[in-house]
Chain A
Amino acid sequence: MEELKKLTVSTNPHIRDENSVNKIMWNVVLALVPAVIAGVYFFKIKALVVILVSVIAAVLTEIAIQKLRKQKITVKDGSAVLTGLLLALVLSPIVPWWIPFIGSIFAIAIGKQIFGGLGHNIFNPALAGRAFLVISWSAIMTTWLLVDGTTGATPLGLLKLGGVKTGYLQLFLGNIGGCVGETSAIALLIGAAFLFYKKIIDWRIPAAYLGTVLIIALIFGKDPMFHLLAGGLLIGAFFMATDYVTSPITKNGKLIFGFGCGLITMILRLFSGYPEGVMFSILLMNAANPLIERFTRPMPFGSKKINKKKEAEKKEEKKDEKPKGPEVGLLDEKGNKKKLEVYGQKGEPIKKEEIIKPK
């Protein structure tokens, strides 16, 4: 029959969801647009320059490396744009132009491509880039611009240095000192709502992360609302810690990951020399991710809970059991020649002379 010339034969299923990697990445970029708008509104042209340089450098680095390695150029998937954008949003708006430039190159080249590209990196590329910049140029990286045009400290810095607390409304709107995209809580929350609506992120990591921060703040008698809104916590919890590649795929793993992020963030905020701890907490948990995933591997539906202790005991018992009946051992487990040991029905040793060889 004419119509049946080109039959495809492949494994089920024969229909697929319309979602794709490209759609996911571009949707996350879209979710960051409110934060970009807020950043440009508060920090003007300076913020725009940081964002543009960072994104362009990320895209060019990805193209260059994939060309060099003779791979397919996948820059259209939006993941390089996203990395560049995330990095820009966690930089101070008054850094010189070469800071986002170098940061993005590091983020893409060392943070992502060196491991094999999207899907294979261990650390969140944008945060890896930022960590590199913080360690290399710490003075530049910790000078902040206030909305009135002068330089000064961030709310967390103010708290750490002199115990000055910034008002909630300011924190909520974002007219404070800080990074390009992390100051406006409302803009980030709009973006996060979009991510939830599109089912791109799971509730577990942000809920565990923010919940842990809240509880630790309460335990130590700090203002929990301030700790939730200030610094990079919101952008970290909704946009960085939820990065697919560097967070666990198991449900329980996600909860543990979020809890760990929250714990480290608060330890750094409360007890270290740094005012902020979001970046290091996520990077440290990225490193712990394979381990978390290994220990939270789900059991199949319908499996009985295996009592590991009992199993081990059973094995022990088996080891202790003496072989019954005449048995001729030639090689032991390691393959060495074994002493010829023969036991009778009751487990009593039998002398060599008494062995009757099988015909």
Chain B
Amino acid sequence: MAGFLGGIHPKYNKVTRKKAIEIAPMPKKVIIPLQQHIGAPCEALVKVGDEVKIGQKIAESKGFVSAPIHASISGKVTGIAKMPHPVLNECNAIIIEADGKISWDGSVKKRENIEKLTKDELKNIIKEAGIVGLGGAAFPTHVKLSPPKEKPIDVVILNGAECEPYLTCDHRIMLEEVEKVIKGFQIIIRVLEPKESYIGIEENKEDAISKFEKKLKEMELSEKIKIVKLETIYPQGAEKNLIYSITKRKVPSSGGLPMDVGVVVQNVQTAKAIYDAVYEGKPLIERVITITGAVKEPKNLLVKVGASVKEIIEHCKGYDGAVGKLISGGPMMGIAQSTDDMPIIKGSSGVLVQRESDVCSGEERDCIRCGKCVDVCPMNLMPTLISQYAKKDDIDTANEHFALDCYECGCCSYICPSKIPLVHWIKYAKGELMKRKKKK
């Protein structure tokens, strides 16, 4: 079975895996941040007081690494102001108050004759629909679909690993929207024309694997698209590890990208969004997320971009007990929040609520040099040394130990018997190094 270097086996706690996707009620108000991912922030195309309809483009940026933003509800723009943001803490956002109607923008139309669309037309549709990677980093999809000529792509991988504990949104999408996911993937294949196409799924999602196998047979695609059963191990779904598991190719360290080894990886939800954009003409205004942990009714929900976490939690019958931590994303790579007033953004994959008693608070001790962090690091780094240098503010030595190659999967902190927040210190070293680069 396909596997990679290092990795851990945390308790998966996928309590919502059997719960069908529910559609969340239309929010009364949405806060849509103008920055959804790295790259230049978008500029608003609407003013306060404007009436907007569902699917109307409300912000865009001229930069290449960017994706436009669309209204997720119809109503009136009541403000453009700094609002809470799950990743950036604070960011300019367009606030729309609902008018209670479900009126779609005129641009949203079903498309016919999909087969006749050229590659560039397809890419343009994907770009205009504001599609970004829905696995977490929210990197604009059309950029990934436009590799430079000197870097030909011969393998595309659809990522259905979903290795984060607790989260089940990708799993449910794979079960419930299998045809749309495959059709979306076919669009990706049409644009990139790879020699090989794979769908990687962790073996603990046996039902999704068999569903895909059946559907691919039905659509006579079994030859073209291959399903790869992946070992159930965290972080199997991280791009670099997934590529290695499936193709045994190693993405170059120190800033290499998958396209350097001829690979493009897309998440299953992204494929579904591509289907919606190309076939239905719908821009990216909603996504499936998992609300789980200490809420009364954990759910997989289809929510509008910009809906507030507070409202969504209320839809799950509220918090269950005293909340200790509110996490945007999963427990391994998610970001702890200081408020539930922040909105869902395109890159949100879930909300995990931890009770006060569940918040990990092991007392930190000095490193006993057990070397477990070295064993589990999927990037083959020495987390304990990087963290010790970072602690001493010896950023140069931390850099010599390849701090910048860490992608913060969290395996080292998870496994550490001395309960040292290794990722925290490595992040600090990375932050300092980035600051230096900017100065130069």
Contact = CB atoms under 8 A, between A and B. Distances in A.
A7 B332 contact: no
B251 interface: yes
B369 A119 contact: yes
B310 interface: yes
30 contacts: A3-B319, A3-B321, A4-B319, A4-B326, A4-B340, A5-B322, A7-B336, A8-B336, A9-B325, A11-B336, A11-B423, A12-B334, A13-B332, A13-B333, A13-B423, A15-B11, A15-B331, A15-B360, A15-B414, A20-B417, A21-B418, A117-B366, A118-B365, A118-B366, A119-B369, A245-B368, A249-B369, A250-B382, A301-B253, A301-B380
B366 A120 contact: yes
Given A10-B424, A14-B334, A298-B381, A24 B366 contact: no
Interface in B413-440: 413-419, 421, 423-424, 427
A116 B367 CA distance: 12
B282 to A, nearest CB: 32
Nearest to A298: B380
Given A10-B325, A14-B334, A300-B380, 14 more contacts: A1-B319, A4-B339, A8-B336, A9-B325, A11-B424, A12-B333, A12-B335, A24-B370, A118-B368, A249-B382, A297-B382, A302-B250, A303-B253, A304-B252
A23 B415 CA distance: 13
Interface in B367-415: 367-371, 374-375, 378-382, 384, 401-402, 405, 408, 410, 413-415
Nearest to B243: A302
B5 interface: yes
The 5 closest A-B CB pairs, nearest first, are A13-B410, A249-B371, A11-B424, A119-B366, A300-B253
B421 A10 contact: yes
Nearest to B374: A249
A154 to B, nearest CB: 32
Contacts of B324: 6-8
Interface string B249-271: 01111101000000000000000
Interface string B331-367: 1111111111000000000001010100110100111
A299 interface: yes
Main secondary structure of the interface of B (DSSP, over half): loop
A249 B382 CA distance: 8
Given A17-B414, A302-B252, A9 B323 contact: no
B55 interface: no
Contacts of A301: 5, 240, 244, 250, 253, 378-380, 405
B403 to A, nearest CB: 10
Contacts of B427: 11
Contacts of B369: 119, 244-245, 247, 249
B322 A3 contact: yes
Nearest to A289: B369
Contacts of A247: 369
Contacts of B27: none
A251 interface: yes
A7 B337 contact: yes
B368 A9 contact: no
A12 B423 contact: yes
Q: How large is the interface on A (under 10, 10 to 19, 20 to 34, 35 or more residues)?
A: 35 or more
Main secondary structure of the interface of A (DSSP, over half): loop
Residue from B366, B381, B384 whose CB has the most chain A CB atoms within 10 Å? B366
B290 to A, nearest CB: 15
A302 B256 contact: yes
A60 B137 CA distance: 53
A132 to B, nearest CB: 23
A74 B418 CA distance: 13
Contacts of A202: 371, 375
Given A21-B368, A249-B371, A15 B332 contact: yes
A16 interface: yes
Given A10-B421, A20-B419, A302 B253 contact: yes
A304 B335 CA distance: 33
Nearest to A77: B365
B25 interface: no
Given A7-B326, A8-B336, A13 B331 contact: yes
A336 interface: no
B39 interface: no
A17 B10 contact: yes
A19 interface: yes
A181 B381 CA distance: 38
B146 to A, nearest CB: 23
B165 interface: yes
Interface in A287-334: 297-304
B134 interface: no
Contacts of B323: 3-4, 6-7
Given A6-B356, A119-B366, A300 B405 contact: yes
Contacts of B322: 3, 5-6
Nearest to B324: A8
Contacts of B379: 300-302
Interface string A244-273: 110111110010000000000000000000
A14 B352 contact: yes
B408 A12 contact: yes
Contacts of B418: 20-21, 119
B155 interface: no
Nearest to A16: B360
B67 interface: no
A146 B251 CA distance: 62
Residue from B240, B321, B415, B417 whose CB has the most chain A CB atoms within 10 Å? B417
Interface string B19-50: 00000000000000000000000000000000
Contacts of B382: 249-250, 297-298
Given A1-B340, A301-B380, A119 B368 contact: yes
Nearest to B329: A12
B280 to A, nearest CB: 35
